[in-house]
Amino acid sequence: MSASGLNVAAIQQACSADKATSLDITERLVRKAVGDGADLVVLQELHSTLYFCQTEDTGIFDLAEPIPGPTSERLANLARELGIVLVGSIFERRMNGVYHNTAVVFEKDGSLAGLYRKMHIPDDPGFYEKFYFTPGDANFNDGSSGFTPIQTSVGKLGVLVCWDQWYPEAARLMALAGAEILIYPTAIGWDITDEPEEQARQLEAWVTVQRGHAVANNLPVIAPNRVGTEPDPSGHSDGIRFWGNSFICGPQGEVLARANENDESVLSVTLDRTRTESVRRIWPYLRDRRIDAYGDILKRVRD
């Protein structure tokens, strides 16, 4: 890592019903990323299990873990051994009856730099997340909000999770709090029965909205997604085909690396740490915000 360059990697993988198998795949790909020079490695959402939210099943809560716990300890040890900042994802058991979809960030020495509990929770066919996840806390006793960057040795990371990526408010609040990179661990895919034209629209909407957050906030974006077809355990649908297409873009939305829709991938890019400052000097969106005129954004609808 140079003064102006940050080597980052996004991991795209298929997952197994067996945690150990999924984490073995994760570790292999993280080691490859480090072999390519990565200082910051970002994993996809819920990378240690299948995407279990296709159905509502109380038995699934047995997969949840405290932090610290077995998965967080394994990720911490990996970060320490390899000397990297590592962003992982855990189905967190915070207490009896309170579970979160939680991104964890480990420092190069294996310490926990911080965590982010997913704020926007979907509840749609095949994505029944409200059954499993409590939203993250909006405000904390220290005055910080749920949209607070995590300080690390490689910079301030604006970590969000999947459904959060559709909300410009989340990206903007991270940017206003000093985030230097927006990060979106993701698990998103197609209804297998959708027409190809609809699948294409959904995929490009997903890429476009996140590139838009990069542009609107002059920040790079790292968005790793999973791949593979995972069956619906209930048999009520044909399951989800996760569309991959993990990507990394720069602060003007320029795509620096993008994976395909089928294969496990390690996307490796060197981000120019000076680009945000130089772009903001010529595209000063934050300077020209009319904060005196945005009060209605806090309303559910405008009357």
Instruction: Cite the active site residues.
Output: 45, 118, 162
Q: How far is CA 11 from the centre of its chain?
A: 11
Going by C-alpha positions, the residue among 291, 210, 290 that lies closest to residue 254 is: 210
With tokens 């959708």, the residue in question is 194
Q: Which DSSP category does 145 fall into?
A: B
Quick check: 230 and 51 in contact, CB under 8 A?
Answer: yes
Decide: helix, strand or coil at residue 272. Answer: strand
Q: Which DSSP category does 248 fall into?
A: E
Helix (H) or strand (E) holding 274: none
Quick check: 243 and 203 in contact, CB under 8 A?
Answer: yes
